[in-house]
Structure 1
């Protein structure tokens, strides 16, 4: 993916404060997520895998490649993560009926239960942060 060339203008103290607070709020949410998922017997990556399967647009399954993109991870690592989730009875691999070469990852009943519970907790936490996430001021950058 090509990164657009930006002409960086000098940042002032306020710009640093906004960027710092933005990263702080993201980290607080991540920390909450790490703690709550572990309390429910999952690792943060297992939770994210289930979330991305359940939340994949327009269908109830995802491929390994799609999950690797969503997780920003290598496919072989995602395959290992899927295997761990399979052993826990959370997901299963199914060969696609449309394309026999494609393997679909589907949530099982226990996976559905845990993702629904954890997603509710995450939504509540995210709503509690409403108004705290301030998008950094992009006026600090000027396209060449």
Structure 2
């Protein structure tokens, strides 16, 4: 058991944070559904769009970013591939691995949905006095 003693204010701050986080997530879920995507499909596209200088990732990298099991991520990639959002290709460096590549339709959806998140994201940042990520202001 943890010996940390929490004050009523600690609980209030945590409650407020969780509430605002849930409001953001609910708003995000609504936006995704308006565009015919599940929230997980959008997150997968977002992670591909935000890639490390590339618009592809391995299934393992996506599973980590989604905090999901490998087999669940494979099924999610399958659904996105069937919808024309991504395509799977053999790894360039390791042919045993699959690379998941973002297709133009997937990139466009991710950009559109991300833009619609910005007002709520700014409100979330302002509420918790969070700093903007580097390159934003």
TM bin (shorter chain): 0.7 to 0.9
Using the alignment, how far apart are the partners of 1:132 and 1:57 within structure 2? 29
Cα distance in 1 for partners of 2:69, 2:51 equals: 18
The residue that corresponds to 1:113 in the other structure is 108
Cross-structure match for 1:72: 67
Residue 92 of structure 1: aligned partner: 87
1:37, distance to aligned residue in structure 2 (A)? 0.2
What root-mean-square deviation, in Å, do the aligned CA atoms of Structure 1 and Structure 2 show?
Answer: 1.7
Is 1:26 aligned with 2:21? yes
Asked if 1:127 corresponds to 2:117, the answer is no
TM-superposition CA deviations, 1:76-127 (whole Å, max 9, x none):
1110000000111000001122221221101111101100100111123201
Question: Which secondary structure does the structure 2 equivalent of 1:105 belong to?
Answer: strand
Query: Which of structures 1 and 2 has the bigger CA Rg?
Result: 1
Supply the distance in 2 between the matched residues of 1:98 and 1:114 (Cα, whole angstroms): 29
Q: Which runs of 5+ in 2 are unaligned?
A: 131-137
Count of matched residue positions in the alignment of Structure 1 and Structure 2: 130
Distance apart, 1:38 and its partner CA: 0.2
Change in CA separation of 1:79 and 1:16 when aligned onto 2, cut-off 3 Å: same
Give distance in 2, aligned partners of 1:54 and 1:8: 42
TM-score after normalising by structure 2: 0.88
Q: Pick from 1, 7, 10: which aligns with 1:12?
A: 7
Give the whole-Å Cα distance in 2 for the aligned partners of 1:39 and 1:89: 18
Q: State the match for 1:43 in structure 2.
A: 38
TM-score by length of 1: 0.84
Q: Which runs of 4+ in 1 moved over 4 A?
A: none
Q: Which has the higher contact order (CA 8 A, sep 6+)?
A: 1
Sort the Cα spacing of 1:63 and 1:32 in 2 relative to 1 into closer, same or farther, 3 A: same
